[in-house]
Structure 1
Amino acid sequence: MTDDAFSDGDREEPTVSCERCGREWNLDRELDDLDPGGHAVEQFALDHERHTGHYPDDVTPWTARCRRCPDGERFLAERPARRWAETHARHTRHPVRLEAPTGAEDLVSADGEVDGS
């Protein structure tokens, strides 16, 4: 059986809600516009935050913040957040605080050391 053996009606379409906006979205159109593995929910959450200033329900980003300069970024997964923190620390020699959605924090230093706090 191949992927094209399923009709469009057979696939499960993710739904995202936002209590602050009082809305719910079915991401069927986003799934059509993205390549396989395109992470429709993650992309929708990033776009929602960019347009509204907040994330949809049940989405909390990883945050990487430089402790010396105003640089920082938010990510929906640990790997890109950690990569950004390590790269920034290595290039600037600044320590970077990496905050997990759970509230746990690591301090990433220029020498590659990670200090879990």
Structure 2
Amino acid sequence: MIDTCNPFVSRDGEIATWAREKGAGLASAELLPGARLVRAFNAIGYTRMGAAHEQPGRIGMPIAGDDAGAIAVASRLIRDIGYEPVLVGGLAMGKYLMPGTPLAGEHTPVEIREIAARLN
């Protein structure tokens, strides 16, 4: 499962507060026990999602996950739409794929790796 959601308190209420405190990836894993889960497609705004074709492979897409098979599936999908997948760590790193966090926005794959290294 690819968790593309970002919890927003104004929209989602109490559960969003819990998810943001716990970390969105870990919260999703707790709510979906046994799911082969990765977080991806969270860090780049939907209005820019279709723009990867402008610079194929130049814009990185951070992925957070613990399941190698799920990471591989998400990585293929990310490449298919023109982004370069960048594994930033396990689901605990999923909290950094939300708007307002260091990994949010458009970054090159190298920039994503550098930011993720500082956060780990």
If asked which structure has higher relative contact order (CA below 8 Å, sep 6+), I would say: 2
* Structure with greater proportional strand content: 1
TM-score by length of 2: 0.26
Query: Which has more helix, going by share of residues?
Result: 2
Q: Which has the larger radius of gyration?
A: 1
TM-score (norm. length: structure 1): 0.26
